[in-house]
Structure 1
Amino acid sequence: MRTRLFSLLAAVALGTASAAITYPVTVSHSAGSTTVPKKPLRVVALGPHALDLLLSLGVQPVGYGEASTFIKTPAFGSPIRDIRNLGSRVTSSPVNVGDRFNPNLEILTSLKPDLIVGEDYAAQVYPQLSRVAPTLLFKGIDRSEWQKTLPLLARALDREAAATAALATYTKGVQATRAVLAPRFRNQKVLVVWTGGGEGKNTFNISDHNDWTGGLLTDLGLGVVDGDKRDAVVSVEGLTALDPDAVIVLASGTNTPARARADWNAGALTSRLRATRAGQVYFFDYHLFRRIRGPIAAQLIERQLLREMTRN
């Protein structure tokens, strides 16, 4: 069923790739319906999710809005030199337009964009963004959501063939990774949590199989444990009650995978969990595993999982 879904998504994109788009084109998205009058050549990406989608379509942005925690260049209007995880694929030196959810409108206007692409978190400033340029805001936090978004974005950009290729590459990568991981974790309960460390090092949030992270890991053959509900907060004692066979810990905020590992191993209860004793606790970066949520992120996640989970 899962393979059939991937094939269907690719087929849908392929069916729309037979001819060039005729502009103007109208695209429906989470904030409404937007008409793009001409093929966009100057595109701004608001956030890593939008950036992933654009890069997967072969589009380099003229501007970029990041989560404030990760903006290495503090001055708005300056090129961003270091974009976390995706930076090696960016060749355009995009200008820092500020926070991805509330960007600097003056800088945006100065870039003279043909299209602004972001997430629905920026819905409160959608009217202002739309006055600068046609704006598309998409949802991306749920399982398989970007696969629905990508063909829509590709239509706005006249990049439908690239969308077909990206979907096919994604499907191939998932199938290859699943072939390795699924046998290793067959019949095992895998818990996915994130923690900010520090004072909250003994508090964890659960990722379930219907969000982006848990959904991808489920597709990769890992039996993701949901806990009580999506994004549920659980204590160390709660982890003990769930007692999973394996745990994936994502370091969020200013936390790091190395610090999260140290906190975990130093904990009186976490160090005695079945997963810990079996050497099946894995530590990764929340930013990559939960915030980017696109086909390129999936490839990077798969590489990290294969490297860390196949060492023994």
Structure 2
Amino acid sequence: MGETCVPAHPKRVIILSPFSLLSNALTLGVKPIGSTVHSIQDLNANYPSEQAHLGEEIEGIQQIGLATDPNLEKILLLKPDLILAWEDARAIYPLLSQIAPTVVVPSNMPNWKEPKWKDQFSFVAEVLGKEAVAQKVMNKYYQRLEELKVALGNRYQNQTISVASAIGYNNFTFVKNSFIGSILDELGLQRPPAQNVVAPNGAIYNISEERLEILDGDILFFPVHNIGAREAYEKLKHKPLWKKLKAVQKGQVYLVDFWAWIVWDDPSAASVVIDDLYKYLVNAP
């Protein structure tokens, strides 16, 4: 795609991703003038579900179509000085680059076996000229991690922490090289053997009901994001093998926000995760 001449301090940024790229920019103090959204339902929503943890920060950002089908006419009318896009925008890169300098963020940095969220955040910070801000954000993240480690002490050193979810009939779990897996690893928390591995996209998908033991741990965090996911969870609760899971028998299954735990992959989502870990692992009776 060649080299792109990026303005040193872009003022009118378009984000072609409703997930971590948008949150990265906001965390760095750059409010985009426009962003794509995740679903058709979100086109008519002031605060789409996947952006809930950003609160009022997203107010006033123009919606410019779906992430899979951005509206080029709207983008042109907004007169951006920089377009920041995910890799699925490569097909329309020639058109985007005619509107404004366009940077495509690599999806695997450095490779699929390693969590990519910190590298992505650094990449976006460099593009936006916000390296100093990024350093402060990450310093805060590491400070909170250390404080949480102290608060946890050694009470969970012999317990395993599982993270699993379901959508429809698809049960899946998140492993070491996922966003959440990297946070748990940095905290020194143990994972179940089946989840203490690396996998493409940081997850093991299509886990059948006969193999629900892969989801098990002493504690199970179960991210949910909509009514469908909650319905899938309710259906699982009635399965005989589900009832045999250690976390279920101990009453230690906790529902958490899917978008923050699984999708966003960025420092603001990490802050939500840390808050949840305090809630369920430190402040719980």
TM-score, scaled relative to structure 1 = 0.77
Alignment of 1:285-304 (within 5 A): 285-304=257-276
Q: 2:84 aligns with which of 108, 117, 122?
A: 117
1:152 to 119, 123, 131: 123
Separation (CA, whole Å) in 2 of partners of 1:290 and 1:140: 15
- Aligned residue in 2 for 1:101: 68
Tell me which amino acid in the other structure corresponds to 2:6. V
1:128-207 alignment, distance < 5 Å: 128-139=95-106, 143-181=114-152, 183-197=154-168, 200=169, 203-207=170-174
Tell me by how many angstroms 1:307 deviates.
Answer: 1.5
Cα distance in 1, alignment partners of residues 220 and 74 from structure 2: 43
SS, match of residue 184 in structure 1: coil
Residue 250 of structure 1, CA deviation: 2.2
Q: Please show how residues 249-260 of structure 1 align to structure 2 within 5 Å.
A: 249-251=222-224, 254-257=227-230, 259-260=231-232
Q: Is the 8 A contact 1:154 1:160 kept in 2?
A: yes
Unaligned residue ranges in structure 1 (runs of 5+):
1-30, 75-79
The equivalent position to 2:253 in structure 1, one of 270, 276, 281, is 281
Q: Which 5+ residue runs of structure 2 have no aligned equivalent?
A: none
Q: CA RMSD in A?
A: 2.6
2:26 to 34, 52, 55: 55
Matched, 1:268 2:272: no
Structure 1 counterpart of 2:277: 305
Question: Which whole-Å deviations, capped at 9, do the CAs of 1:113-158 have from their partners, x for residues lacking one?
Answer: 1112232233333332222222222245765423223333223322
Asked if the contact 2:176/2:198 (under 8 Å) is kept, the reply is no
The alpha-carbon deviation at position 35 of structure 1 amounts to 1.9
Q: Paired residue for 1:82?
A: 47
- How many residue pairs get aligned? The number is 271
Q: Secondary structure at the match of 2:124?
A: helix
Deviations 1:249-280 (A, max 9, x none): 222565345x4553343222212211111122
Q: Secondary structure of 2:149's match?
A: helix
The change in CA–CA distance for 1:240 and 1:120 in structure 2 (over 3 A counts) is same
* Structure 1 counterpart SS, 2:154: helix
Shift in alpha-carbon separation, 1:281–1:102, aligned structure 2, 3 A: same
**Which among 208, 213, 236 is matched to residue 209 of structure 2?**
236
Counterpart residue identity of residue 46, structure 2: R
1:293 to partner: Cα distance: 0.8
Q: Structure 1 pair 57/209, CA: closer, same or farther in 2 (3 Å)? A: same
1:176-219 Cα deviation digits (max 9, x unpaired): 2233346332132222222113xx1xx41121101222222222
1:248 CA drift (Å): 1.9
Q: Report the CA distance between 1:243 and its aligned residue.
A: 4.3
> Which amino acid letter does the alignment assign opposite residue 44 of structure 1?
I
| TM-aligned CA distance change 1:281 to 1:149, over 3 Å | same
Segment drifting more, 159-168 vs 222-231: 222-231
**Structure 1, residues 29-50: CA drift from partner, whole Å, max 9, x if none?**
xx76422145210111222211
**Does the CA contact (< 8 Å) of 2:173 and 2:215 recur in 1?**
no
Cα drift, residue 95 of structure 1:
0.5
Distance 1:173 1:128, change over 3 A: farther
Percent identity (aligned): 27
Aligned-residue offset at 1:241: 6.1
8 A Cα contact 1:60 1:92, kept in partner: no
How has the CA–CA distance of structure 1 residues 32 and 309 changed in structure 2, closer, same or farther, with 3 Å as cutoff? farther
C-alpha separation in 2, matches of 1:59 and 1:97: 18
Aligned mates of 2:103, 2:41 — CA distance in 1: 23
Quickly say closer, same or farther: Cα 1:219–1:133, change in 2 above 3 A.
Answer: same
Structure 1 letter corresponding to 2:259 = H
